Amino acid sequence: MIVILGSLRFPPGNMDQVRPPLQRFVEATRAHDGCISFDVAEDLFDPGLIRFSEEWPDQATLDRHLQAPHILAWRAAVLGLGISGRNFTIYVADEGRPL
């Protein structure tokens, strides 16, 4: 299993423009990419910060997600919306051994 925790930062004034493509991206990921869980939340106390929590069964499934048309559309949609911070950490569980 692969667990990813991460965040993206946008200018707070751009969040109304970020939310629609983010929603499409999350819904498509949950429906099509074989993920175990894929959760996104705006930080209540840090405007413009979006936190991600993902669980994937294996590297091959994650690799397919990273090349999926909807992730490419998400990246293109927010390209000009001022991403100023990106931080993702990947945790991999050894077979038979929890994280």
Residue 63 burial class via C-beta count within 10 angstroms: exposed 0-12, middle 13-18, buried 19 and up? exposed
CATH number of 2-92: 3.30.70.100
Dump pLDDT digits (tens) for 20-51.
999 999 999 999 888 999 999 999 999 999 99
Total residues found in the chain within this entry: 99
Note the pLDDT of residue 93: 84
pTM beyond 0.85, yes or no: yes
Whether the pLDDT of residue 95 is over 80: the answer is: no
Judge whether 78 and 18 are in contact, CB under 8 Å: yes
* Helix H or strand E encompassing 33: none
Q: Encoding tokens for residue 10?
A: 């946008």
